[in-house]
Structure 1
């Protein structure tokens, strides 16, 4: 019956997947789409901003042709996807939000696209809220008189403007308070290469777009991340939370002590460097490398915790023990409880190990 329904839509081909493993693979494609869509085929960044404008379904074809023409006119790229049957379109566009010229183009495109949506009888927000990204443009859809009525109603019920200020009436300009405007414009001096991000550590941190696969607590499936979040249930110990803290560290507004930040250090402390995020995250956030980068700078010129020398240098010690033929002696001493307890305390190793 499912295949008959799909074929009735005049599609090119159809396939009903009944194998559980095949179904999981298909669902992963769907679940990862909001993350993978933030990367263009050449690896460059793409961002939301026009995620859910909608037009009447009968106008969809004409709107999409005009939309693509507008992208081309502004030298932008984006692949529409979403609820085509409902006329609701999602798209991530390769806006340059790191330069003044790129932000100016973002503004011009947004204004022209708002006019285009309205011309096709559509809505600037077909599924989610308007927020700061659309509020400035609402007079183009509703008209100045109706938006003024919104303001009067808000003035009656919220005279002190406490509830979502600037999100519907008296909005901030759509190109202010952009997330990346506070990040450093020049690449940060780092030790790792970050080849997929042009050697730019802040670009690597920007990979996280909040998909939240790192917050899964399911024990089914093939994913592993994020072990520390599974254990603590604390956002600060998820890959997403750590990426956000690194973002704040680079911005320097909330986390003000840079590489010396104890907040970032504590959030990274439980990271196992298991590389689960590198394989499971749809945008391949590599928190293990970010942690190594941070710790290198955090302890530069300072003594590290004892565990960094004992556990961190364990391969060195093991090679030495093998060459010196002292492994049997070390193993024998480690089985003596008092000696083992002292060694673990001095080595910064948990006594329960």
Structure 2
């Protein structure tokens, strides 16, 4: 494995990724290190689905925009009458109050965040904090339309009425059964304890570049041949014989993050050094350093993209344009700005 050869590959196996990082940071790196980094959230693992696999697909919706329903059960008394059940969408001030209380309680760590399994017992208990006018002799609880992510960053809303087939490279976001499988592989590698529990939501995958998520599913049994949602259930493990990989751009990002950490550990800059210098250095590392080929202009970042990157981090439009030009290597300027 060479660093030059790796630039021709869109992704590397775990073994080759370990060799790549060993060369890039001049330290011994093993596959187990990559698994541990992935479990910590410092490195993104992916899987290459060479064969097509059944899945439910959907989007990640910001938690404030997610659809939430409130179910009220009334009449649970000794009258003998059957309870009345009312389901309505939570909206307006009531929705805002519920989410505010939910997020505040999460921030204070009063209860464990629910995983993406759809089991929202903790959320239903939290409804008591958000409901300002509880009905007498009634019980109310809420449910998100989709699966609330553990960090509360959003809700995964899958289309449960259709079955899709997916292939290609997908990231492992570590919010479903895939996290337990990686954890099991890590402990197997270091001869640690066995894991015998799974997350009910199954395997969750994320597209590397788009807001597209997938929940892998499998048939209940081989006798049900029809491709209908009712004949499938969430898959509890990653597909066999499909390789775990790391995308090349993710490896480059990780190496750059290590360099940034090293830079941050260096002595502070003089007080009179412009604050924009650090931002320009970060932009150069993010868009040019180790990411482009001098002979291949298609690898060069667009000037407009670099400028926008700087603007999003607080630089003015005028300075961002000048800064994007400033960090462009001399050989790229002579070759024509893209």
Same fold (TM over 0.5): no
Please state which structure has a larger fraction of its residues in helix. Answer: 1
Query: What interval of TM-score do these two structures reach, taking the shorter chain for normalisation?
Result: under 0.3
Q: Which has the higher contact order (CA 8 A, sep 6+)?
A: 2
Please state which structure has a larger fraction of its residues in strand. Answer: 2
TM-score by length of 2: 0.24
